Structure 1
Amino acid sequence: MIFELKGIEFYRCRDLINECGQLEAKAVIEGVNPGRVFVDDIENPTSGLIWLGNNDGFIFIGNEQNETFNKNLNYFIENRIVPEATNVGLNWFEAIGNHSKWNSTIKEVFKNRNLGSWNQRVYLLYKEDNQNHDELSIEQGYKLMKIDKNIFENKDRSIENIVFLHSKILGFWDSPERFFSDGIGYCMVYKNEIVSVCFSGFVVGNVHCIHIETLEGHRGKKIAQTIARSFVKDCLDNKNVPYWDCMESNKPSVAVAEKIGFKKVFQYIGYEFPFK
């Protein structure tokens, strides 16, 4: 059997978290960011599965050789995860091991599925590595703004696509209040529309995992690099550490991170298979 923990029970999984693993797993277990946790034993879990609250994947934690947990995974996914995931528009199961020993287990457990994989990179940036010195010139008409309550609430209706910002922030946070308490963020505005965002997606302690997105029609204009530099400066000025997690194949994201001065600290493999 696999059981779901209540939020107040997540602390029981703290010892299962790899301290050198993904920040996202820590953020959910610590209750900073939303997510769901499924385990082999409610009172004394030894293996578990974290469903990230932004629906950006499932992270396996704890003992990868737990036969009882592993043999129930396919049944559990088909009968519990798939119905709920499809209801929120997910068509793929993205599996990530919180430590590398999970890789062989994931491949074995899901060997009868159409399993694919990709490589992911994690970067950190410390003040001594920051190369955010020269201001970038961007096209006229773009305005960089810090994401604050005034922008979010948009009482003057000056932002025409405010739903875009709301959907991004609330995809990672339980409430705007929690975001403004624990996170930071910047946006780029063009003709009364937010065309790019860069904000704390997950936070643990003073480490802020960056979520950055630029609308398609505005890419290739150094907007992502400009907005990321502002986020990084804010972090470093306040003794926070920016954390960048991106797919290895996402060359523009890798280029922005390395241009600013982020250093790769580890990499991991993600696996995926379709629900149907």
Structure 2
Amino acid sequence: MHEIPGEQFERVLPLLAGGDWRPVLPEAVCERINPGRVFVDRADAPSSAWIWLACGYFYLCGQPPADAAQSLADQMNADLVQAWAAVGERGLVLAPLSAGWQAVLEGFLAGKHYAPIYRREYRLNPGRFRPSAAPPGFRLRRMDADLLARLGGMTTWRSPADFLAHGLGFCLLDGEEIAAHCASVFASRTRVEIDVHTAEGCRRRGLAHAAASALVKACLEEGREPNWECFWNNEPSNALAGSLGFEKCADHAAFYWEPENKQG
């Protein structure tokens, strides 16, 4: 497996299209909308690929090559773990998008400290979606450069300009304070990955629902598919998804791994 330049990323898209689990994150990287790194077995016609994201996610898709286990161990030791550590990521989510890569990961992680986890995938039922207004005393505003700067930017995007060009988001303001926001942390050409945050002192007041409702509504109006995915045991996120009209599709197996300083 070797790394390829950005202009070749789209060659991996067919490997992402055929599986039961189609997360937005690797698609957004391969469409060169969000930053990331891509590794393949063959640059001209990939049959296997890794998609690396600085936020600690690592997707493996396609049919593993014969040397998959050794190649994965070598690349983790040589570069990938250090690259995550350099941006402050210690806990990693390794997500196999095929049964073959799941078996390779199980072998790679044997004897290491890891935990099996699940990513829960939802799909919106538009017939169940009911938009909600901002609660009294709060003002809804679409994200612009000013709000983005006040939030500290979006680390999953190359720049604020990229987010404003390809992403979308909404803030609920209490006066001039941002009480809650919902944004596309990743986006492909047709789908957006939803992330919601409510300030500590403003929770349990319906703000997350209102902010997420505004984003879902904007997606539907703009012909984009809102994507909701969370960990299977994240009860608040699962409850919010259901209240917005998202319906559970499946739980997808993944692995949580905290590498030691040196991996053998």
User: Which of 151, 159, 165 does residue 181 from structure 1 map onto?
Assistant: 165
Alignment of 1:71-82 (within 5 A): 71-82=70-81
- 1:273 Cα deviation after fit: 1.6
Distance 1:214 1:99, change over 3 A: farther
Provide the secondary structure at the position in 1 that maps to 2:29. helix
Distance 1:89 1:148 in 2: 27
2:218 corresponds to 1:234: yes
Distance 2:127 2:189 in 1: 20
2:53 corresponds to 1:57: no
Superposition TM-score, scaled by structure 2 size: 0.88
Query: Which residues of structure 1 form unaligned runs of 5+?
Result: 154-161
Distance 1:180 1:128, change over 3 A: same
Distance 1:116 1:102 in 2: 16
One-letter amino acid matched to 1:47: S
For the 8 Å contact 1:188–1:223, the answer to whether it is kept is yes
2:10 corresponds to 1:11: yes
2:49 corresponds to 1:48: yes
Alignment of 1:109-188 (within 5 A): 109-132=108-131, 135=133, 137=135, 140=137, 142-152=138-148, 162=150, 165-167=151-153, 169=154, 171-188=155-172
Distance 1:245 1:266, change over 3 A: same
One-letter amino acid matched to 2:39: F
Provide the secondary structure at the position in 2 that maps to 1:67. coil
Distance 1:68 1:79, change over 3 A: same
Give per-residue Cα distances to partners, 1:202-246, cap 9 Å, x unaligned: 222332211212233322221111111111111122232211011
Provide the secondary structure at the position in 2 that maps to 1:189. strand
How many positions carry a matched residue from both structures? Answer: 258
For the 8 Å contact 2:143–2:168, the answer to whether it is kept is yes
Correspondence for 1:67: 66
Superposition TM-score, scaled by structure 1 size: 0.85
- 1:129 Cα deviation after fit: 2.8
Cα-Cα RMSD: 2.1
Correspondence for 1:270: 254
Query: Which residues of structure 2 form unaligned runs of 5+?
Result: none
Alignment of 1:87-106 (within 5 A): 87-106=86-105
One-letter amino acid matched to 2:27: K
2:25 corresponds to 1:24: yes
- 1:33 Cα deviation after fit: 1.4
Distance 1:74 1:11 in 2: 25
For the 8 Å contact 1:126–1:241, the answer to whether it is kept is no
Distance 1:152 1:82, change over 3 A: closer
Correspondence for 1:34: 35
Distance 1:72 1:101 in 2: 14
Distance 1:130 1:99 in 2: 32
Distance 2:122 2:91 in 1: 26
State the identity as a percent: 26
One-letter amino acid matched to 2:119: Q
